[in-house]
Structure 1
Amino acid sequence: MARRPTIKDVAEAAGVSVSTVDRALNGRMTVREDTLRKIAEAAHRVGYHARGLFDHRLVEAVPERCFGFVLLKEKQEFYRNFRREIERAVAARTDIRGTADIRFAGSQSPEEFAEILRGMGRRCDAVAAIAVNHRALDQVVEELKGLDVPTFSLLNDFAQGIRRNYIGLNNMKVGRQAAWMITQTSHVPGKLAVFVGGNRWHGHDLREVGFRAYTRENAPAFTVLDTLVNLETRQLTYEATLDLLTRHPDLRGIYVAGGGMEGAIAALRETRAPGEVALVVNEVTAESRAALLDGYLRMIISTPLAELCDDVVALMVKAQSGDDGTIGQHFLDPRIILPEIA
C-alpha cells in the first residue's frame, strides 16, 4: 500500500519548513501569500489529502477589490469590446478577488458623469472613467480623493492634477500621425477637414492641435479648414461631410478625431470613388475595417484595449497596496491599421 503523503512531503516539495506548512494548514499565524501559494501548489503535486484547506487559506489571503469603470455608448462595438477587456483584465488578476462594476453614461452631460462617479465612490475601491473635462468632474474627483478612492482617466485626460493617472494614447501624436498619413499620400495639395466631438473633450482638442501643427510645419501647401463639431454622432458627421464635399471640390482629406466616423464613411461611399478623399479615423470596428478594405479609409489609429485594461487594473491594484504611485500620464503606443494588414 502506497504511503500517504505528509506535511513533511509538502514542506520538502515547497522548499519551506514543516512549521511553516503547519501554520498555513491551521491558520494559527499569518503566512505570506506567495509562500502560501507555493505550499498549495506543492500539496497538489504530492497528493496531500488536505490540499483543499491550503486552497481555502489562499482564497482567504487574497483581498477583495471592487473597481468601477465608466464608459460611453453601450451599443457601440468599440465600447462593447472595451467592457469585455475590462472584465477579462480584472478576472485575470490572481492577487485580488476582483469585481468590475461597469456603468455606461447615457449622455455626455458633466452632471451625469459626476453622479455616476460619486455613486461608484461609495462602493468601489478605485474608479476609472472616460469622461469630459468640466469643473463638476474636478470637484467629484477631489471628493473621491478625500475618501481614498483614486480616480484614473481613460482616453481623455480629465481632472488633471487631481486624478491619479491618465491611461491612453498621446493624443497630440495621434493627430500628427493622422496628418502625416493624409498629406504624404495625397499627391495634389488641397483642403483638409477635422471633426472633433466637442469642446469638453480635451483629447480631441490635442488631436486637432497635433494635426494642424504637423500640416503647418511639414505640408504648408495644404489648408486645414475650420474645425467641425459633430458631437460624436453619425448623422451630424454624415450631413457635414456631404456639405464639405459640395463646398470644397478640392477637399483632399478628412480626419475624424473622435466618434461619428460612420457618417463620414457613408458620405464618401455615396459621393466619391475609393481613395479620392483620404479619410483617417480612430478605432477598429466592423464598419471601419470594411471601409479600409474597400479603399474609403486610408488608415485607422487604434487603441490597444487589452493592454490599456491590463495596465489600468494593475495601477488600481498598486494604488490599493499602499503605494502612493506617481500622478502622471501613462501613454500607450497605438496600433496603426493599414489596408494591407486589416
Structure 2
Amino acid sequence: MAGRPTIKDVAREAGVSATTVDRALNGRSIVREDTLRKIADAAHRIGYHGKGIFQSRLEKPLPEVRLGFILLKKTQEFYKNFEREIHHAIAERRDVRATADIRFSSSQSPQEFAELLASLGRTCDAVACTAVNDQRLNQVVQDLRDRNVIVISILNDFAQGIRHSYLGLNNMKIGRLAAWMITRTVHDPGKLAVFVGGNRWHGHDLREVGFRSLVRETGRGFTVLDTLVNLETRQVTYEATLDLLHRHPDLKGLYVAGGGMEGAIAALREVHDRPKVALVVNEVTAESRNALIDGYVVMAISTPLPELCRKLVDLMVRSTNGEEDSASGQHFLEPKIVLPELL
C-alpha cells in the first residue's frame, strides 16, 4: 500500500463503506459495536494514523437507560406478543445499554395503574404505559414529571397535557374504518352495535365517536344501538352478544372496539350456523384468524407491534437524552388491515 493509509484503505480492509468509517471516526452517528471493531482491527493492520480513535470509541462505555413498561392482562395473546416485541426492540439497540422492567395490570383499576406507575417511576428513567383515564393517574404522572421521569402513554392517551407523548393508533380513524367496512359489507341497512371496554378508556370513546360519525355520513339508514360495555372480557362479551342477538335478531353488524372479541366470535358461531353479522375486531390472534377464515369476522384492525415497539423504545431513549421535549406530542402509527383474502 503506497503512501499514508486513508479512510478508503481502512474501509476496503474492513469490508465496509468509506462513509461508515467516516462516521466511526467522527462520531457523527452510532456505528454498531461489531462493525466498529472490524474497522479498528483493519486500521491497526494497515497502520492507519487514526487507529487510536476507533479503539477509544470501543472502550467508551455505553450510556445506561432504565425503561419501564405497564401492559394489561399477561395471559392474553396480544400482550404476550407485545412483551416479546419490547424485548426485541431493546435488543436491537447498539447506542445504549437498556434494561426493561415490564409489569402487567391484572385489572382496569385506576389505583392499580397508579401504584404500578409510581413503583416504576422510582427506578426507571422513562415509563411507557397503557392505562385508563383517571385523575389519580394524572397526579402520579405529574409527580413523575416533576422528578424528570418521562411518561409515555401507549394505545390509550391518558394524562393528556401532563404525559410526555402518546404513541399508538389514531383511535377516531380506527372507529371510522370499522364503520366503513361494515357499511360496505352489509348490503341491506339495519341495526349495528358497538362494544367498548369501559367509560375510562378514552381511546374506546374516540373509536365509538368515529364509528357513529361515519355511519351517519353514509346516509344509508343504518341505526347504531346504545353502546355496550364489556370490561374487555371474553365472558361478558359472550353473554352480552347472545342477549343482543336475542333482542335484535335483525342485527347486521358488530364492532368490538377493545378486548373481549373472543366472546363475540363464540356467540355468533353458537347462534348462526353460517355468518350473518358483519363483525369487525381489533388484533389478529388464533381465534380471530380462524373467524376471518370462516367468515365470522370481516376485518381485523391490527396494531403493528414490531414498529410500535421500535418507535417506542427509540422515543423513550431520545426523550431521556433531552431530544424529545414536547409535552403534548402525538405519534400515530398506521394500522395493519387484515382481511380474509389476505390470510
Which band: TM-score by shorter chain?
A: 0.7 to 0.9
Name the residue aligned to 1:333.
Answer: 334
Asked if the contact 1:13/1:42 (under 8 Å) is kept, the reply is no
The alignment's TM-score, normalised by the length of structure 1, stands at: 0.87
Name the residue aligned to 2:214.
Answer: 214
Q: Which amino acid aligns with 2:41?
A: H
User: Structure 1 residues 211, 41: closer, same or farther in 2, change over 3 A?
Assistant: same
**Offset at residue 54 of structure 1 (A):** 6.2
Separation in 2 of the partners of 1:65 and 1:274? 53
State the SS of the aligned residue for 2:122.
helix
State the SS of the aligned residue for 1:287.
helix
**Offset at residue 268 of structure 1 (A):** 0.5
User: Structure 1 residues 12, 101: closer, same or farther in 2, change over 3 A?
Assistant: same
Name the residue aligned to 2:145.
Answer: 145
Name the residue aligned to 1:285.
Answer: 285
Asked if the contact 1:10/1:48 (under 8 Å) is kept, the reply is no
Name the residue aligned to 1:104.
Answer: 104
Q: Which amino acid aligns with 2:305?
A: L
Q: Which moved more, 1:152-161 or 1:313-322?
A: 313-322
User: Structure 1 residues 197, 55: closer, same or farther in 2, change over 3 A?
Assistant: farther
Separation in 2 of the partners of 1:98 and 1:262? 36
Q: Does 1:169 align with 2:178?
A: no
What percent identity do the matched residue pairs reach?
62
Separation in 2 of the partners of 1:144 and 1:232? 28
User: Structure 1 residues 34, 180: closer, same or farther in 2, change over 3 A?
Assistant: closer
**Offset at residue 167 of structure 1 (A):** 0.5
User: Structure 1 residues 180, 13: closer, same or farther in 2, change over 3 A?
Assistant: same
RMSD, aligned CA: 2.6
The alignment's TM-score, normalised by the length of structure 2, stands at: 0.87
User: Structure 1 residues 132, 61: closer, same or farther in 2, change over 3 A?
Assistant: same
Separation in 2 of the partners of 1:35 and 1:321? 14
Q: Which amino acid aligns with 1:235?
A: Q
User: Structure 1 residues 48, 100: closer, same or farther in 2, change over 3 A?
Assistant: farther
Alignment of 1:115-154 (within 5 A): 115-154=115-154
User: Structure 1 residues 124, 338: closer, same or farther in 2, change over 3 A?
Assistant: same
Alignment of 1:1-342 (within 5 A): 13=9, 32=27, 34=29, 40-45=37-42, 48=45, 58=58, 60-326=60-326, 327-342=328-343
**Offset at residue 317 of structure 1 (A):** 1.3
Asked if the contact 1:33/1:61 (under 8 Å) is kept, the reply is no
**Offset at residue 55 of structure 1 (A):** 6.8
Separation in 1 of the partners of 2:184 and 2:224? 15
Asked if the contact 1:183/1:219 (under 8 Å) is kept, the reply is no
State the number of aligned residues.
322
User: Structure 1 residues 249, 11: closer, same or farther in 2, change over 3 A?
Assistant: closer
State the SS of the aligned residue for 2:258.
coil
User: Structure 1 residues 333, 66: closer, same or farther in 2, change over 3 A?
Assistant: same
**Offset at residue 41 of structure 1 (A):** 3.1
- Give 5+ residue unaligned stretches, structure 2: 12-25
